[in-house]
Amino acid sequence: MGNQQRRRFFARITVRDIRQLPVLTAMDLDLFGERTDEEGRQIDGFVTLEDIEKLVDAGFVVQLWDAPEPRRKPEYVGFEEWRKDMLADLEQQRRR
């Protein structure tokens, strides 16, 4: 794939046996959110096709949602602008 960004998907990974958690942790995935229900522990993540294959091979149940682009475009601010805003915030806090 070279420089091309790898396509990633939102995934819900179901952990049915708590002994699988170290395996999941060792995969070093972009994981967030967790809930537990009668199915087991469910952990959300943002994964590639290669990650999905590894998860399935390791015995995890994986549900996917397509996510070709981030929901929000990242916003960048230059250092000088950031510094000016931070100094203004500090000055306002001193006045209180």
CATH number at residue 84: 3.30.70
Q: State the pLDDT at residue 16.
A: 87
Domain for residue 91, yes or no? yes
The token pair at 2 is: 């070279």
Nearest C-alpha neighbor of 29 from the set 41, 17, 47: 47
Of the pLDDT bands very low, low, confident and very high (cuts 50, 70, 90), residue 1 is very low
- Nearest-angstrom CA–CA distance, 83 and 90: 10
3-state secondary structure (DSSP) of residue 36: strand
Distance of CA 93 to the CA centre of its chain: 34
Q: Each residue of 18-77: pLDDT tens digit?
A: 898 899 989 989 998 888 888 788 999 999 999 999 999 999 999 987 655 556 666 777
Does the residue 2 lie in any domain?
no
What is the Cα 52 distance to its own chain's centre? 14
Cα(44)–Cα(25) distance, integer angstroms: 13
Residue 71 is part of which domain span?
8-95
Rg of the chain, C-alpha, whole Å: 20
The number of folded domains in the chain is 1
- pTM, rounded to two decimals: 0.59
